Amino acid sequence: MDSFEKQLYTFLWETRYVILFYFFGDVITTLYALRLGYKEGNRIVETILRHLGPAGFTIAKFLSVCCLFYYFTTTDLNSKMLEMAITLATVLGFFATANNLSVVMRLNEKKENIFTLKSSLRILKIIK
């Protein structure tokens, strides 16, 4: 295994939770919430979505992971700053994903309540 492959493998292992929460979790839950009708609350993300769309948002998230990879390959692996950057990105991704999931659950709950209300009104019309 050459040096780049080893660095990439080590990076993927060391940042697996960053990739899981910050990249995949946040991107998937954000795009799903937007599909359900949620309006993005983060101005920067909203601007990216408005101008570049979902693909641009995904690319922006990917580029931030690429920046972390660059930092990972240019610093000492035992660096406290690197450890803090990975931890911060993991925590940020976790809370962003958790927030998005709570928004999705609330939106689904509202849609179910509206659907139930409409169904009840239809049943009442049939009974009359």
Cα distances from 15 to residues 2, 18, 44, 66, 93, in angstroms, run: 20, 5, 24, 11, 12
* pLDDT above 70: percentage of residues in the chain: 84
Is residue 21 within 8 Å of 93, Cβ to Cβ?
A: yes
| Structure tokens, 48 | 């990216």
113: in domain: no
Residue 90 is assigned to a structural domain of this protein: yes
Segment among 19-23, 44-48, 90-94, 106-110 with least mean pLDDT: 106-110
pTM of the model: 0.79
Domain carrying residue 77: 3-101
Q: What Rg value do the Cα atoms of the chain yield, rounded? A: 20
In a domain, residue 50? The reply is: yes
Residue identified by tokens 């928004």 is 103
Flag whether 46 is in a domain: yes
